C-alpha cells in the first residue's frame, strides 16, 4: 500500500512561483501559446501559395528575357550572344524591309516560345561540347538546328546554322574531313536554293575535291562522291541557262559539257536530259550527238532513250530523214525490250515527221498503230491524242465522216478521263467535224429551196439530227 | 602624408565654433554627416555644419572641398523678390544648381568607388541622395542611382545589412516604375549581384548578373565594355564555384572586347595628338585597370598558361596606360606582352605591340608626371 502511494505522482495544488525560468501561465500567455500551436499544427494549409522567385520572373519578364537569363546563369555566354544577335538581326531585316513587305507579317521568334526553347536547348548543348573541345558534337547540334527550321520564313536561320556548322566542321580533324565535306554539300544546297550559283559552285567544287578518291557513304547508302557529281551537274546546268538565253552558245556549250562530264562520272542517268540542251545550242550537232551516243553504249534502255531524243532533236532542226532513222532505232529497241510505252512514243514521233514531210497515208498508218498500242497498254491519254490526230488528218483530207468518228471516240475517252480541257477540245472538234460534213448539203438545200429540201431543213431544225448525209449519201456518190 | 596634414590644418582653419543654444528657436543646425546637433561651422561657405572635426575632415576630403561654394546659393534663404517672375526665375536657378550638384557628387562618388576608397565615397553619395530627394521627392526613380552608389560603398566597407537596405529601397522604386530605363535596371542588378557575391549567395548572384548582362546588352549592345564588366563579375562568381572553364571563356570574351575597344581608341589618337588624357573617363580607366590586372593575375597563376590570352591582356593594359598618360607603365606592360607574344610563333599582335612600345618610348621623356 505504501508502495502504491509513492508511485503516484505528486501534483501540487498551487503553481510554483519560486522556480526560475518557469513558463508564464497567465491566461493571456496561454492563449498566445495555443494560437501558436494551432498555427504550427497546420503548416500545409497556408493562406497564400508560396511562389518562388524564378516563377515570378517567368511570369513578369518577357520570354526572350527568360531565355537569355537562363542561358547566362548556366554560364553559356556564347549561346546568349548568338541568340541575341539573331533576334537583333531579324528585327533589323524586318525594319529595313519596311511595312508592307512579306516579312512584316511574320511572327518574330520571341512570339514563338517553342522555337526559342529548342534554340536554347541545342545552343547550350553545342556550347558544352565546345568547351570540351568536341567539335563534331558541336557540328551535330548545329546541323540539327539547321534542319529543324524548315519553314520558308525561317530559311535565314537554317542558312545561318549551316554556315556555323561548316565553320565547326572545319575544326574537326580526326575524321579526315568527312564532316567538312557534308557541311560543304549542305552549304552548296543552301546557295542553290537562294540562287547564288557562283557560291554554290565553289562549295560543290570543294566538296568534289574532298570526296575524290574517298569511299564515304551517307546514311542513305549513296556515295558522297556521287552526290558531289550530281550537285555539280545541277549547278553547271543552271549556270548554262544564262548564256543560252543570251544566245552565247560557246559559253553554254562549255558549261554544259562540264555538266555532262559530271553526269557521266556520277551515275549516267542525267546525261540523257542534257542532250536536248546541247542540241539546242550547238550548230555542229553531229559531232556533239555522236560523242554523246557513243559514250552511252551498253545500256539498251538508255541508248534507246538517247536515240529517241536525238531523233526529236533532228525533228526540231528539220532533218526528218535522220530523225526517222533514229526513231526507227528506238522503235526496234523498244519492241525488243517489250516497252509498249516507248513503242507508242516512237510511233507518234515517226508519224509527226511523216506529217511534216507530207506523207499523210503513212502518217495515218502509224497513228493507227499508235492508237492500237495505246489501247493495248491502257494509255488513254495517248489514245485520245492519237484519235484527235487522226481526226484532224481526215478532216484536212475532206473525209469528214471518218474524222467525225475518230473525234467522237476521242470525246468519249476524254469524258471517261474527266479532264475538262481535253473534253472541251474534243467537243469543239466533234462539233466542227459534224458541221463540215453537213455544210455543203445544207447550203445547197437552202439555195434550191424545193419542197423536199424545206422538209429536210425543218426536220433538222427540230431534231438537229444529221439528216443530210443520210439522204444525200447517194447524192455524194453521184457528184 | 603631407597633403593630409596640410588639409587637416586647412580644415581646422575653416572651422568656427557654433553654439546650438544661440540658434533661433526651431532652427536646429545638424551635422552634415550624422545629423546630430552641430557644434562647428565651415567658415568658407558658412552654411555647412558639423558635430566634430572628424566629420568635418571626412566631409572635406569626401566632397566638400569641391562643392563648398556651390552650396551657398542653395542653402541660404530666398531673398525677397517683389515680382512673381523674379521668384520663379530664382527657383529655376536653384533647381538648376541642385541638379548640377547631384551630378558632381555622383561623379565624385563613382570615381572614388572605382578607386576602391569606399569610406571616402560615403559623404559624396549621401549628398547626392539628399539632393535628389530634395529635387525629385522621396520615392522617385531618380534616387535609384544614389541608392546604388551607397549600396556599393557599403558592400565595399563590409556593412552588408546597410547595403541590403539601400538595395531593397532601390529595387522597390524600380519595381514601382515600369518605364524605368534599362541603364538603371542593369546597374541595379549589378549591385545586387555584388551584394550577393559578398554574402556568398552565389546562385542569386548569378541570377542578378545574368539580368545585368541582358539589360546592358539591350542598352549598349553585345560588344560594349559595359556589358563585359558584367561578364567579368560573373566570371569571378564562377571561379568561386570552381568552374574554371566557364570562367576562362568569359575572361576571353572580356579581354577581346577591351582589346578591340582600346585598339580603336589608339588608332584614332595616334596621329600626333597631345590630348591623350581626355580620351578616357577616369572612372572607366580605373575600372578597366582593376579588371585587366585581376585577369592577368588569375591567368598567370593557372596551371595551363594560355600565352595568347596573356598577350592580349598585357597588350590591353599597355594601351590603357598609354592612353591614360603614363608611358612608363605602358612600357612595362608592353614588354611583358612582347615576351608572351614571342612564345607563340607567328602571333598577329607582335607588330602592334612593338609599335606601341616605340610610341611609349618616344613619349616618355616628353611628358611630365601626369597622374
Give the pLDDT confidence of B92-139 residue by residue, as tens digits.
Answer: 999 999 999 999 999 889 888 888 888 999 999 999 999 999 999 888
> Which residues of chain B lie closer than 8 angstroms to A134, CB-CB?
none
Which three cell numbers mark A294? 557513243
Residue A220 covered by a domain? no
Interface with A, mutate which of B196, B214, B245, B304 (most A CBs under 10 A): B214
Instruction: Identify the weakest region by mean pLDDT among A16-30, A55-69, B203-217.
Output: A16-30
Cβ contacts of B211 on chain A, cutoff 8 Å: 65, 69
* Residue in B210, B231, B249 nearest the CB of A73: B210
Which of A54, A60, A69, A74 should be substituted to probe chain B, the one whose Cβ sees the most B Cβ atoms within 10 Å?
A69
A253: CB partners within 8 A, 6+ apart: A278, A281, A282
Q: Is residue A116 domain-resident? A: yes
> How many CB pairs (< 8 A) connect A and B?
40
| Statement: residue B156 has pLDDT above 90 | no
Please state the domain count of chain A: 1
CA distance B207 to chain A (A): 6
**Is residue A118 in some structural domain?**
yes
Tell me which residue of A434, A327, A326 sits closest to A370, measured CA to CA.
A327
Q: Could you tell me if residue A154 is inside a domain?
A: yes
| Percent of residues, chain A, with pLDDT higher than 70 | 72
pLDDT over 70 (residue A305): no
Residue B37, Cβ neighbours under 10 Å: how many?
A: 14
Chain Cα centroid distance, residue A159 = 18
Task: Look at B210 and A78 and tell me if their CB atoms are within 8 Å.
Answer: no
Write the residue in A65, A84, A131 that is nearest to B249 by C-beta. Answer: A131
Confidence of residue B212 (pLDDT cuts 50, 70, 90): very high
pLDDT at A470: 53
Residues 6 or more apart in contact with residue B79 via CB below 8 angstroms: B90
Tell me the nearest-neighbour CA distance from B157 into chain A, angstroms. 27
Which of A58, A75, A91 should one mutate to test binding to chain B, selecting the residue with the greatest count of B CBs within 10 A?
A: A75
Q: Is residue A6 part of a domain?
A: no
- Across A326-333, average pLDDT: 78
* Residue A193 included in any domain: no
Percent of chain B surpassing pLDDT 70: 89
Residue-averaged pLDDT of chain A = 75
Q: Taking the CB of residue B130, how many other CB atoms lie within 10 A of it?
A: 16
CA distance A298 to chain B (A): 58
Interface test with A, best of B222, B247, B248 (most A CBs within 10 A): B222
A329 pLDDT higher than 60: yes
B253 in contact with A, Cβ within 8 Å: yes
Chain A residues with CB-CB distance to B256 below 8 A: none
Instruction: Indicate the pLDDT class of residue B82, thresholds 50, 70 and 90.
Output: very high
How far is residue A306 CA from its own chain's centroid?
27
Q: Which residues contact A140 (CB under 8 A, 6 or more apart)?
A: none
The mean pLDDT value for B204-220 works out to: 91
CB–CB of A180/A210 below 8 Å?
Answer: yes
Any A CB within 8 A of B174 CB: no
Helix B144-157 vs helix B182-198: angle between axes, to the nearest 10 degrees?
A: 20
A151 located within any domain: yes
Q: Is the pLDDT of residue B330 over 60?
A: yes
DSSP-based three-state secondary structure for B199: coil
Integer Cα distance of B266 and B321 in angstroms:
11
pLDDT grade for A309, boundaries at 50, 70 and 90: low
Distance, in Å, from the CA atom of B155 to the CA atom of B199, rounded to the nearest integer, reads: 9
Domain that holds residue A120: 55-174
Q: What is the mean pLDDT of chain B?
A: 83
- CB-CB neighbors (< 8 A) of A85 in chain B: 222
Closest to B213 (Cβ–Cβ): which among A70, A72, A78? Answer: A72
Backbone angles phi, psi at B113, to 5 degrees: -65, -45
Residue A108 resides in a domain: yes
Amino acid at each position: 500500500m505504501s508502495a502504491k502511494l509513492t508511485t503516484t505522482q505528486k501534483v501540487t495544488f498551487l503553481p510554483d512561483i519560486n522556480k526560475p525560468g518557469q513558463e508564464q501561465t497567465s491566461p493571456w500567455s496561454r492563449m498566445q501559446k495555443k494560437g501558436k500551436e494551432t498555427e504550427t499544427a497546420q503548416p500545409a494549409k497556408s493562406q497564400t501559395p508560396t511562389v518562388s522567385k524564378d516563377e515570378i520572373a517567368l511570369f513578369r519578364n518577357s520570354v526572350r528575357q527568360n531565355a537569355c537569363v537562363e542561358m547566362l546563369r548556366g554560364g553559356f555566354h556564347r549561346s546568349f550572344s548568338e541568340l541575341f544577335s539573331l533576334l537583333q538581326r531579324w528585327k533589323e531585316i524586318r525594319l529595313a524591309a519596311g511595312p508592307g513587305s512579306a516579312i512584316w507579317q511574320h511572327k518574330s521568334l520571341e512570339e514563338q516560345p517553342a522555337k526559342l526553347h529548342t534554340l536554347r536547348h541545342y545552343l547550350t548543348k553545342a556550347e558544352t561540347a565546345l568547351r570540351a573541345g568536341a567539335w563534331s558534337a558541336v557540328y551535330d547540334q548545329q546541323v540539327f538546328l539547321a534542319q529543324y527550321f524548315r519553314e520558308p520564313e525561317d530559311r535565314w536561320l537554317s542558312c545561318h546554322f549551316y554556315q556555323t556548322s561548316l565553320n565547326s566542321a572545319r575544326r574537326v580533324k580526326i575524321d579526315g574531313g568527312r564532316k567538312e565535306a557534308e557541311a560543304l554539300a549542305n552549304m552548296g544546297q543552301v546557295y542553290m536554293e537562294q540562287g547564288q550559283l557562283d557560291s554554290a559552285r565553289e562549295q560543290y567544287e570543294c566538296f568534289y575535291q574532298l570526296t575524290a578518291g574517298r569511299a564515304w557513304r551517307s546514311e542513305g547508302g549513296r556515295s558522297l562522291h556521287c552526290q558531289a557529281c550530281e550537285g555539280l551537274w545541277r549547278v553547271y546546268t543552271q549556270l548554262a541557262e544564262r548564256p543560252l538565253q543570251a544566245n552565247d552558245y560557246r559559253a553554254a556549250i562549255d558549261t554544259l559539257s562540264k555538266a555532262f562530264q559530271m553526269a557521266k562520272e556520277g551515275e549516267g542517268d542525267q546525261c540523257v536530259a542534257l542532250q536536248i540542251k546541247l542540241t539546242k545550242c550547238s550548230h555542229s550537232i553531229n559531232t556533239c550527238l555522236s560523242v554523246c551516243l557513243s559514250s552511252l553504249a551498253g545500256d539498251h534502255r538508255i541508248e534507246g532513250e538517247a536515240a529517241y531524243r536525238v531523233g526529236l532533236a533532228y525533228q526540231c532542226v528539220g532533218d526528218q530523214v535522220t530523225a526517222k532513222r533514229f526513231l526507227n532505232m528506238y522503235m526496234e529497241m523498244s519492241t525488243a525490250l517489250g516497252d509498249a510505252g516507248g513503242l507508242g512514243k516512237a510511233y507518234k514521233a515517226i508519224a509527226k515527221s511523216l506529217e511534216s514531210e507530207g506523207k499523210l497515208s503513212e502518217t495515218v498508218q502509224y497513228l493507227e498503230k499508235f492508237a492500237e498500242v495505246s489501247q493495248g497498254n491502257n494509255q488513254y491519254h495517248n489514245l485520245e491524242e492519237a484519235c484527235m490526230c487522226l481526226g484532224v488528218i481526215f478532216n484536212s483530207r475532206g473525209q469528214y465522216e471518218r474524222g467525225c468518228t475518230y473525234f467522237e471516240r476521242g470525246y468519249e475517252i476524254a469524258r471517261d478521263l474527266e479532264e475538262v480541257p481535253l473534253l472541251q477540245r474534243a467537243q469543239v472538234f466533234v462539233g466542227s467535224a459534224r458541221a463540215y460534213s453537213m455544210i455543203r448539203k445544207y447550203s445547197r438545200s437552202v439555195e434550191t429551196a424545193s419542197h423536199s429540201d424545206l422538209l429536210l431543213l425543218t426536220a433538222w431544225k427540230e431534231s438537229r439530227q444529221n439528216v443530210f448525209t443520210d439522204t444525200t449519201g447517194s447524192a455524194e456518190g453521184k457528184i | 602624408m603631407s597633403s593630409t596634414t596640410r588639409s587637416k590644418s586647412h580644415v581646422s582653419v575653416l572651422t568656427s565654433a557654433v553654439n546650438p543654444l544661440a540658434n533661433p528657436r526651431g532652427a536646429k543646425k545638424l551635422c552634415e554627416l550624422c545629423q546630430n546637433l552641430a557644434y562647428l561651422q565651415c567658415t568658407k561657405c558658412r552654411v555647412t555644419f558639423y558635430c566634430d572635426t572628424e566629420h568635418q575632415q571626412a566631409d572635406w576630403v569626401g566632397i566638400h572641398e569641391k562643392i563648398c561654394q556651390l552650396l551657398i546659393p542653395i542653402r541660404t534663404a530666398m531673398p525677397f523678390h517683389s515680382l512673381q517672375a523674379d521668384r520663379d526665375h530664382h527657383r529655376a536657378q536653384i533647381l538648376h544648381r541642385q541638379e548640377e550638384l547631384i551630378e558632381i557628387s555622383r561623379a565624385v562618388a563613382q570615381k572614388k568607388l572605382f578607386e576602391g576608397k569606399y569610406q571616402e565615397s560615403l559623404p559624396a553619395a549621401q549628398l547626392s541622395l539628399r539632393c535628389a530627394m530634395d529635387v525629385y521627392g522621396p520615392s522617385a526613380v531618380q534616387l535609384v542611382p544614389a541608392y546604388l552608389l551607397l549600396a556599393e560603398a557599403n558592400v565595399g566597407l563590409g556593412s552588408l545589412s546597410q547595403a541590403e537596405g539601400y538595395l531593397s529601397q532601390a529595387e522597390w522604386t524600380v519595381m514601382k516604375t515600369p518605364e524605368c530605363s534599362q541603364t538603371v535596371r542593369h546597374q541595379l542588378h549589378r549591385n545586387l549581384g555584388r551584394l550577393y557575391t559578398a554574402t556568398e549567395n552565389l546562385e542569386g548572384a548569378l541570377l542578378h548578373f545574368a539580368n545585368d548582362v541582358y539589360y546592358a546588352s539591350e542598352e549598349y549592345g553585345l560588344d560594349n565594355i559595359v556589358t563585359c564588366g558584367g561578364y567579368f563579375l560573373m566570371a569571378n562568381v564562377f571561379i568561386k564555384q570552381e568552374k574554371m572553364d566557364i570562367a576562362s571563356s568569359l575572361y576571353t570574351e572580356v579581354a577581346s572586347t577591351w582589346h578591340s575597344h582600346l585598339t580603336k581608341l589608339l588608332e584614332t589618337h595616334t596621329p600626333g595628338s597631345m590630348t591623350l588624357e581626355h580620351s578616357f573617363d577616369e572612372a572607366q580607366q580605373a575600372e578597366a585597370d582593376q579588371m585587366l590586372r585581376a585577369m592577368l593575375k588569375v591567368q598567370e597563376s593557372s596551371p595551363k598558361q594560355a600565352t595568347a590570352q596573356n598577350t592580349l591582356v598585357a597588350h590591353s593594359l599597355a594601351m590603357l596606360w598609354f592612353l591614360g598618360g603614363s608611358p612608363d607603365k605602358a612600357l612595362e606592360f608592353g614588354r611583358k606582352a612582347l615576351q608572351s607574344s614571342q612564345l607563340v610563333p607567328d602571333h598577329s599582335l607582335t607588330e602592334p605591340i612593338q609599335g606601341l612600345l616605340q610610341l611609349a618610348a618616344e613619349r616618355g621623356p616628353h611628358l611630365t608626371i601626369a597622374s
